[in-house]
Structure 1
């Protein structure tokens, strides 16, 4: 977000902050900071339906904050390091508590990458 147009940058920052104002999406982004995850893992973490989780992921993807990586029939999501907002996202995530325990809990329950 290094565009010279400050109004445009303000609009982009506002849009991203609004998107991440949702606790579920903010937690997803923090989890994706260190891990690739699929929708099925998010459904287990958030105890939410697949359509609800897919809607959150779609919004993050539409904003360019996450990217997808297809492995066979499964799609895994990660932070989009190519996004012009990547540095901004990283600076925001520095203030968010680690979410590693959620991934560890999935692993302990045998639910990590349950879609494979």
Structure 2
């Protein structure tokens, strides 16, 4: 009985986390592309501290992970997480967000961290 309660608790936590439109969109973007905070700042037209806070919450929950590339920190979906199948299932129901990255590329902002 304990295990199923824990699973429901975890699911509720993830659903609450992804109930935020910005975080949900971030995770959908990360489903197909790794990104850095500066790219999210451009995509969402939001301040860097606000974006960093969203990313931190996702990282703390184990949904995303970070990798350092030189001076940049690149974020990706944490596919090793026990939560990943659940998150992936949710993402399968969402429309592709690649157009957001294509818009960045057109503006010359996609590769700002390389």
Smaller-chain TM-score bracket: over 0.9
Which runs of 5 or more structure 2 residues have no equivalent in the other structure? none
Q: Which residue of 1 aligns with 2:100?
A: 102
Q: Which residue of 1 aligns with 2:78?
A: 80
Q: How does 1:1-116 map to 2 (within 5 A)?
A: 5-116=3-114
Structure 1 stretches of at least 4 aligned residues deviating more than 4 Å after TM superposition: none
Q: Secondary structure at the match of 2:56?
A: helix
Name whichever structure is richer in helix by fraction. 2
Residues in 2 aligned to 1:62 and 1:16: alpha-carbon distance in whole angstroms: 11
Q: Secondary structure at the match of 1:64?
A: coil
Q: What's the TM-score once normalised by structure 2's chain length?
A: 0.97
Q: State the superposition RMSD in angstroms.
A: 0.9
Which runs of 5 or more structure 1 residues have no equivalent in the other structure? none
Residues in 2 aligned to 1:113 and 1:63: alpha-carbon distance in whole angstroms: 27
CA displacement at 1:115 relative to structure 2: 3.1
Q: How many residue pairs were aligned?
A: 113
Q: Secondary structure at the match of 1:5?
A: helix
